[in-house]
A = this chain, B = another copy of it.
Amino acid sequence: MAEHECVQLVPIFSELGSEQLDTIESIVRHHHYPAGSTLFGADDPLDSLMIVANGQVKVYQLAANGREQLLYLLQTGDIDGEAALFENQRRTSFGEALVPTDVCSIRRSDFQDLMQKYPSISINVLNVFGKRLSQLERQTTSTATESVEARLANYITETAAALKTDTFKLPLKKKDLATFLGTTPESISRKLALFERQGLITQKPGKVIEINDADQLLW
């Protein structure tokens, strides 16, 4: 594997120099998870910060009625576990690798030491928090107040905008996308078919979607 592997990937360490990254790399643990395997579950002790070195991880919760809610889709370079870095808490969500995934982890006490030594890290962590909070705030507002149609249209245009392309492949199975948007796979199928009938999008094999009229899609 490469030199600073995961440590280099992560924005929270971006202000650090090469030797400092070496130091961090030396205290990092490496893990590999096959597709479909579980990284962590609710009630697990939350004792380390995880860095996705390569792959894709879905983070979800289970409601009391057993239904699943996808909260985050972690990509290469994303971190997780920052929510309780200084408190003894347990996890509240599940983590599952969607593809073969490499993960680096730093134990909580080690990370605390790092933050003492390099204050820029704490500020970066706070910013990661901020992004996650505002993403989640928007998600909450969206699922609570908008129709499935509007939420799906939003998701499509935002995903396309993030990739800077009009034609892209959905990064999730419809089942997972459904739990992310707070709906069902059937409803997604129907709404996509509707968008296609309206000429707003074109669906191609392999979960590929082409946007024909982004403005109209958002009303």
A residues at B contact (CB < 8 Å): 61-65, 67-69, 71, 81-87, 89, 92-93, 112, 115-116, 119, 122-123, 125-127, 129-134, 136-146, 150, 154, 179, 182, 218-219
Collect the chain B residues with CB atoms within 8 Å of residue A129's CB: 83, 126, 129-130, 133
- Secondary structure at the A interface, as helix, strand, loop or mixed, is helix
Collect the chain B residues with CB atoms within 8 Å of residue A131's CB: 84
Pair B82/A130 contact, Cβ less than 8 Å: yes
Q: Which of B63, B141, B219 contacts A63 (CB 8 A)?
A: B141
Nearest-neighbor residue (CB-CB) of A133 within chain B? B83
Collect the chain B residues with CB atoms within 8 Å of residue A137's CB: 61, 71, 92-93, 136
For the complex of A and B, list the 10 residue pairs with the smallest distance between their C-beta atoms, beginning with the closest.
Answer: A144-B182, A83-B130, A84-B130, A69-B141, A67-B145, A63-B145, A122-B122, A61-B141, A143-B144, A129-B129
